[in-house]
Amino acid sequence: MVDYSKLTPPLVKAVQELSKENDDLKKAIETLTKRLELLEQK
């Protein structure tokens, strides 16, 4: 039998960590996209 009350907190923490990582990656992509656009203008 699965004790969901013990399983839920680590899953929530994992989702929060993945969400932060996703946000960080989006910012990195945005930065690189802007740099690429500047380079392409030259």
Q: Region 6-29: what's the mean pLDDT?
A: 98
Tell me the C-alpha to C-alpha distance, in Å, between residue 42 and each of 5, 18, 32.
57, 37, 16
* Contact partners, residue 7, CB within 8 Å, separation at least 6: none
Q: What is the pLDDT of residue 22?
A: 98
Report the share of the chain in percent with pLDDT over 70: 100
Q: Is the pLDDT of residue 42 over 90?
A: no
15: its two tokens: 């989702």
